[in-house]
Amino acid sequence: MRIKISQSHAAAIEKAISAVAGKKTRCIHQAEDVISAAERAERKLEDLGLQKSCRAGATAQANLAGPGKSYGYSLDGTSIALERLTSGWYLTDVTLQRIYPGGPERMEILIEASQIEAAVEAKLRKLRISARTPAPAELAA
């Protein structure tokens, strides 16, 4: 599955979620939740200082918060997998996952080592910090 995350594709997103969730309604993502998750993931990459041209390949996994702690037992909720391509975020997978009462909403983002290096370089440039190259005499010592 690969569905572009945008308001114009909300019906396709809802269809993919309902195919997995069936008649369940609690702790189940809606199209608005998926769009919001993609926007949050994009903001996190932006806050990291990663340029848009370097964001492709990032992935995110998001879960909704569990019911209140007074809810007596766990239940099945949806977990969504997102992937950032050059043209934006895409929904790549929807699965059922055990959700526990009082559990927080979670999002985990995974990026490549090269993206981490690019983000660090961008942060250092922004702070006007650069690496000093050792003089040849320092290398010989």
d(CA 50, CA 94): 27
Q: What angle do CA 107, 111, 112 make, to 5 degrees?
A: 165
Residues 6+ away with beta carbon under 8 Å from 130: 124
* pLDDT at 141 > cutoff 80: no
Q: Does residue 42 belong to any structural domain of this protein?
A: yes
Domain with 111, as residue range(s), is 3-127
* Residue 138 domain flag: no
Tell me the per-residue pLDDT of 93-102, one tens digit each, with 9 for 90 and over: 999 999 999 9
Asked if the structure places residue 136 within a domain, the reply is: no
* Tally of domains within the chain: 1
Q: If pLDDT is split at 50, 70 and 90, which confidence band does 135 have?
A: low
Both tokens of residue 101? 């009462």
Residue 108 lies in a domain: yes
pLDDT tens digits along 74-89: 899 999 999 999 999 9
Q: In the predicted model, what is the mean pLDDT of the chain?
A: 92
- Burial letters 54-70, b for 16+ CB under 10 A, else e: bbeebbbbbbbebbeee
Of residues 131 and 121, which shows the higher confidence score?
121
Output the pTM of the full model. Answer: 0.86
The arithmetic mean of pLDDT across residues 103-107, rounded, is: 94
